Structure 1
Amino acid sequence: MKKIIPLLLISLLFFSCSDNGFNNNNPYIPNYNFSVAFNLSLPQYSNLNYVSNAIYYAGPEVGPRGIYVFNTGAGYNAFDAACPNQALSNCSTLTRDGINLVCPCDDEEYSLFTGQGKLKYPLKQYRAELNGNILRVYN
């Protein structure tokens, strides 16, 4: 009996671990492991200090289409720049229109606040974490 209790506690801890419901699986966009840091004190990223502003970053480490990073006022959202409901093609890079991203393939709009559109898959979201003036986006 004494051996069962520690085993039960360990298995309870193992199964209670959570990823906070974060799910960015999409059949059209491959999963890339990356981590990129933005120094919000630098001029090229200073727009992110203001609510409803976004930047587009197309570094080679973040995948084939790059990412959009957006200041929601309550934090930061980071989304893949590939159209979430299209296979990768010459028209599948999202473009920014105010607080929305638009897929040129199908003219579908997605909110930078929520990542939602009207089609099956929302924008592929990545984690964003602010530490001082450094914003880290990662998968």
Structure 2
Amino acid sequence: MKYFTLPLLLVFLMVSCASDDDARISNPFIPSVNFTHSINLDLPQYNMLKFPNNSYVETLAGVGVKGVIIYNIDNTLYSAFELSDPNITPSSCSALTVKGIEASSNCDNTTNVYEIVNGKQIKGEGGYPLVRYAIRRDGNRLTITN
């Protein structure tokens, strides 16, 4: 019996391992961009990111599609998401507006609202969450990559 159980367990483990890349690849609206961007928390423009529950929107060219929303969860955990509304094609109005922990659409015919802590859509149509980027803190430096 134990000879049968081990292979069955291995097959189960292999099948149950899934990648979160599927959610990223299946979004037809946001093109994949490769970038690495570092933020020095000692610089005055990033001061708010030293305190939990604060966010900053980075809109430098080459950082994301429209930019990146950075949120300080608890000084050790941060989230980073694409600034583009994930449920519409990038356009002049597709950059989200961040207020508190919510990011909302700027396009006239769209009422999409997202939570910037976890990226989930909390209002509107489409169903895609915000596109998440990897973020790491090392001392007073945040590094965001895709």
| Superposed pair shares fold, TM > 0.5 | yes
The alpha carbon displacement at 1:55 in A equals 0.7
Quote the offset at 1:115 in angstroms: 0.3
Cα deviations by residue, 1:62-90 (Å, 9 ceiling, x for unpaired): 13311111111251000101000001122
State the alpha-carbon separation in 2 of the partners of residues 84 and 42 from structure 1. 30
- 1:126 aligned residue: 133
CA spacing shift, 1:19–1:45, aligned 2, 3 Å: farther
Spell out structure 1 runs of 4+ moving beyond 6 A. none
Cα pair distance change 1:88/1:130, threshold 3 Å: same
**2:24 aligned partner, one-letter code:** N
Structure 1-normalised TM-score? 0.81
User: 5+ unaligned residues in a row in structure 2: which ranges?
Assistant: 1-13
Percent same amino acid among aligned pairs?
A: 34
Q: Give the structure 1 partner of residue 99 of structure 2.
A: 97
The reply to whether residue 24 of structure 1 matches residue 18 of structure 2 is no
Higher mean displacement: 77-86 or 117-126 = 117-126
The CA deviation at 1:125 is: 0.6
Counterpart-to-counterpart distance in 2, 1:41 and 1:63: 23
1:56 matched to which residue of 2? Answer: 57
What is the CA distance between 1:38 and its match in structure 2? 0.5
CA RMSD between the two structures: 2.0
Question: Is the Cα–Cα contact under 8 Å of residues 105 and 112 in structure 2 kept in the other structure?
Answer: yes
For the 8 Å contact 1:82–1:93, the answer to whether it is kept is: yes
- 1:81-92 → structure 2 map (5 Å cutoff): 81-92=83-94
Aligned-pair CA distance for 1:20: 6.4
Tell me which of 102, 113, 120 is aligned to 1:116. 120
Provide the TM-score with structure 2 as the length reference: 0.77
CA deviation vs aligned residue, 1:40-59 (integer Å, no higher than 9, x gap): 11111111111111111111
Q: Which stretch of the first structure deviates more once superposed, 73-82 or 127-136?
A: 73-82
Over 3 Å counting, the alpha-carbon distance change for 1:113 and 1:46 in structure 2 is same
The residue aligned with 2:3 is none
User: In the alignment, residue 95 of structure 1 is paired with which amino acid?
Assistant: T
Aligned partner of 2:71 in structure 1 is 70
Q: Structure 1: give runs of 5+ residues left out of the alignment.
A: 1-14
The answer as to 2:144 corresponding to 1:137 is: yes
